A = this chain, B = another copy of it.
């Protein structure tokens, strides 16, 4: 049974989940071998738990071929939805039952290994699947936050290469998002403005960290990036929540994302990366000042002793330099 445990000094929560160690390519031996049968390819549906969502043609049956996108429970989940155990204090320490939901979005029936290779329609479907699962999971009162993220490439923590991303429902707002909310709230209290809206306005006029713009979205390298070529995509007008977009908006966002990934692919020899969607928590009144966005984090180097020991980051590429390079690499989408 997984467990949330709290570090008694820093208050940082971690998930202890022995189930995860059972993954075939769990990384403890640094194996990069792929399984002989890819569990995510069409025809191998029996290799995954039964689907919870699929976009499939009308005649096809669940957990059979005929789909263009599937969402399945993670076979090796970090959290489980049902728990026999209540929260507990472990003597001096504090722990909670590791309840949550951990799903995998299989983004193509073909063995595609790069998100940037998905066509616009397919990538739009991926974003709509995020929306569908965020709305569904968000309606369960147990979950306070739905986190969407992607690991692509072994250096970015992916164990399977077939394009996929992950959706997690959590019983609390994760620290990184809580920190963003705190900062945005403080700014709003002082200025009655959304901090992210101010950033967008600032970057649109400054232009040195701007990568591209569409009607509704801006792509930029943030002022204080943790990683070389870290790139964010934000809606240009105030919107707290990813999952309330229109189909039109997801189509436009998918063009921005695809264009950005293509620029990064052209600029960098290899592109292992993570992305994460930060949307407002399911409930609570953060919507006046929080502003959803996607953070794309290429993994060109490892976080190391300095980063883990200091909580800070050394980034050898200034965002102005990264943005200048990416601007010059306009993709022919």
Instruction: Please tell me which stretch of A19-27, A59-67, A129-137 contacts chain B, meaning at least 4 of its Cβ atoms lie within 8 angstroms of it.
Output: A19-27
For A177, list chain B residues within 8 Å (CB): 310-311
For A280, list chain B residues within 8 Å (CB): none
0 or 1 for each of A203-227: is its CB under 8 Å from B? (1 = yes)? 0001000000000000000111110
Report Cα–Cα, A166/B304, bound state, in Å. Answer: 11
Interface residues on A, range: 35 or more
Does A202 reach chain B (CB closer than 8 Å)?
yes
Complex contact A309–B149 (CB within 8 A): yes
0 or 1 for each of A166-200: is its CB under 8 Å from B? (1 = yes)? 10101000111101100110010000000110110
CB distance from A204 to the nearest CB of B (A): 12
Complex contact A224–B14 (CB within 8 A): yes
Report Cα–Cα, A13/B307, bound state, in Å. Answer: 11
Contact of A7 among B147, B174, B206, B223 (CB under 8 A): B223
Does A29 reach chain B (CB closer than 8 Å)?
yes
**Chain B residue with the shortest CB-CB distance to A225:** B14
For A158, list chain B residues within 8 Å (CB): 304
**Chain B residue with the shortest CB-CB distance to A275:** B305
**Chain B residue with the shortest CB-CB distance to A2:** B314
The answer to whether A5 and B174 touch (CB under 8 A), given A10-B179, A27-B302, A299-B302, is no
Complex contact A274–B157 (CB within 8 A): no
Complex contact A180–B9 (CB within 8 A): yes
**Chain B residue with the shortest CB-CB distance to A178:** B311
The answer to whether A202 and B91 touch (CB under 8 A), given A14-B313, A310-B175, is yes
For A162, list chain B residues within 8 Å (CB): none
Does A54 reach chain B (CB closer than 8 Å)?
no
Report Cα–Cα, A300/B321, bound state, in Å. Answer: 32
The answer to whether A15 and B157 touch (CB under 8 A), given A9-B180, A27-B301, A183-B10, is no
Report Cα–Cα, A229/B183, bound state, in Å. Answer: 34
Complex contact A305–B174 (CB within 8 A): no
Does A235 reach chain B (CB closer than 8 Å)?
no
Report Cα–Cα, A183/B26, bound state, in Å. Answer: 33
The answer to whether A301 and B224 touch (CB under 8 A), given A309-B149, A312-B12, is no
CB distance from A275 to the nearest CB of B (A): 7
0 or 1 for each of A259-295: is its CB under 8 Å from B? (1 = yes)? 0000000001110001110100000000000000001
Give 23 CB contacts A-B under 8 Å.
Answer: A5-B223, A5-B224, A7-B222, A8-B183, A9-B183, A9-B199, A11-B183, A14-B313, A16-B224, A19-B316, A27-B302, A92-B198, A151-B304, A157-B301, A157-B305, A170-B310, A175-B311, A176-B308, A176-B311, A226-B308, A275-B305, A276-B305, A299-B302
Given A16-B318, A28-B269, A151-B304, 10 additional A-B pairs, CB 8 A: A9-B180, A12-B311, A15-B315, A18-B317, A18-B318, A27-B301, A29-B269, A90-B223, A176-B308, A274-B309
